Amino acid sequence: MALVPFDDRDGWIWLDGEMVPWREAKLHVLTHGLHYGSGVFEGERAYDGNIFKLHEHTGRLITSGQILGFNIPWSADEIDAACQEVLARNNLTEAYIRPIAWRGSEMLAVSAQQTKIHLAIAAWAWPNLFGQNRMKGVRLAMAKWRRPAPETAPTASKASGLYMIGTLSKHAAEAEGFDDALMLDYKGDIAEATGANVFMVFDGELHTPTPICFLDGITRRTVMALARNRQMKVVERTIKAEELQDATEVFLAGTAAEVTPVRAIAHHSYTPGAITETLLKDYEALVRMSPEEVTRRVG
Ligand SMILES: Cc1ncc(COP(=O)(O)O)c(C=O)c1O
């Protein structure tokens, strides 16, 4: 399929309070966010015109900025409304939405106290990260890079700079023919994939690593609630890399990946099974319910 560059598309992007034509949504090369990674972003999905868990995503965006030491100069309600406006203006009902906030170009040094904080919101059609046949499962390589300790990096923020090791890991995995990479944390325990959280089934129970140094994903929390609604036992704990061989099912959960079964991690093979399929279907049904019904079912 021909690649359509992201800077050469039709449509509208919300930039600092105004809707601008897609190709004109530009910034200066001496932007702090580009040089020093001082940006935070979100990834959201709209289904049937409703942005799933919009207010939670907006809340995380604002908190991510605060963790990096800045306040986004728009309220949560204004950001929610802008996300909806971007969808409508681009005539999208099924879409991926990308809000991003960053430090501007007023100062360019490590210290950047007087930089203006910018906010942009774009949306585009982006079907599941791993395509339509995902029930057969994706294959993960083991990443060489590890998630840093919370004392080493602001790991609770969805900060652009933290994705550097994700891109390195995913590129290395793709070069070896895998779909994605599984990252360990700084202690050598299982952390997450490069853009999604991981779940494993042990003895019929659903286990997932405690999010100490990576995002406690909105999809992750949703899947845990769906599993509990089904009376499944859900366990958050440290999962050792040696335990990979004992898992009977493995899947990823994230806004872009949704629920995606895993059929291999390095040389370990898995058969996507009943628990994965049940939660995949429950998630697919949930995202198409009204926001009120979503809150009623999973909080
Ligand atoms: C590194 C990483 N971990 C986990 C997630 C899952 O988070 P969420 O379910 O909130 O999209 C994402 C996606 O945003 C991610 O990029």
3-state SS of 177-201? CCCEEEEEECCCEEEEECCCEEEEE
Q: Is the CB of 99 under 6 A from ligand 1?
A: no
Confidence at residue 234, expressed as pLDDT on a 0 to 100 scale:
98
- Matching residue, tokens 């335990």: 243
Cα of 215 vs centre of ligand 1, distance in Å, is 6
What is the CA 255 to chain-centroid distance, rounded?
A: 5
Distance, in Å, from the CA atom of 241 to the CA atom of 191, rounded to the nearest integer, reads: 9
Distance, in Å, from the CA atom of 76 to the CA atom of 143, rounded to the nearest integer, reads: 36
116 catalytically annotated: no
Cα of 191 vs centre of ligand 1, distance in Å, is 12
What is the CA 251 to chain-centroid distance, rounded?
A: 15
Intervals of the chain under pLDDT 70: 1, 129-133
Q: Is the CB of 137 under 6 A from ligand 1?
A: no
Q: Is the CB of 38 under 6 A from ligand 1?
A: no
Closest ligand 1 atom, CA of 60? Answer: 10
Q: Is the CB of 196 under 6 A from ligand 1?
A: yes
Q: Is the CB of 79 under 6 A from ligand 1?
A: no
Closest ligand 1 atom, CA of 57? Answer: 10
Confidence at residue 242, expressed as pLDDT on a 0 to 100 scale:
97
Confidence at residue 129, expressed as pLDDT on a 0 to 100 scale:
65
Confidence at residue 132, expressed as pLDDT on a 0 to 100 scale:
66
The sign of the dihedral angle between the CA atoms of 144, 175, 245, 221 is positive
Q: Output the six-digit token pair for 244.
A: 């990979």
Confidence at residue 146, expressed as pLDDT on a 0 to 100 scale:
98
Distance, in Å, from the CA atom of 199 to the CA atom of 190, rounded to the nearest integer, reads: 10
Question: For 89, what's the count of Cα atoms within 13 Å in the CB-facing half-sphere?
Answer: 20
Among residues 136, 144, 158, 170, which one is catalytic?
158
Q: Is the CB of 170 under 6 A from ligand 1?
A: no
pTM for this entry: 0.97
Confidence at residue 200, expressed as pLDDT on a 0 to 100 scale:
98
Confidence at residue 3, expressed as pLDDT on a 0 to 100 scale:
86
Q: How many residues are present in the chain?
A: 299
Q: Which residues, other chains included, contact 39 with Cβ-Cβ below 8 Å and sequence gap of 6+?
A: 33, 100, 101, 102, 103, 159, 160, 161
Cα of 26 vs centre of ligand 1, distance in Å, is 26
Choose which residue among 58, 182, 192, 197 to substitute to test ligand 1 binding: the one with the highest number of ligand atoms within 8 A of its C-beta: 197
Alpha helices in the chain (DSSP H): 32-36, 54-67, 76-89, 164-175, 218-229, 274-286, 291-298
Across 121-137, b (16+ Cβ under 10 Å) vs e yields: bbbbeeeebbeeebeeb
Distance, in Å, from the CA atom of 48 to the CA atom of 93, rounded to the nearest integer, reads: 5
Q: Is the CB of 43 under 6 A from ligand 1?
A: yes
Q: Are 196 and 252 in contact (CB under 8 A)?
A: yes
Cα of 195 vs centre of ligand 1, distance in Å, is 5
DSSP symbol at 86: H
Q: Are 79 and 17 in contact (CB under 8 A)?
A: no
Give nearest CA residue, ligand 1 atom 1.
Answer: 195
Q: Could you give the 3-state DSSP secondary structure of residue 101?
A: strand
What is 23-76 written as a DSSP string? GG----SS-HHHHH--EEE--EEEETTEETTHHHHHHHHHHHHHHTT---SS-H
- Matching residue, tokens 């590890």: 146
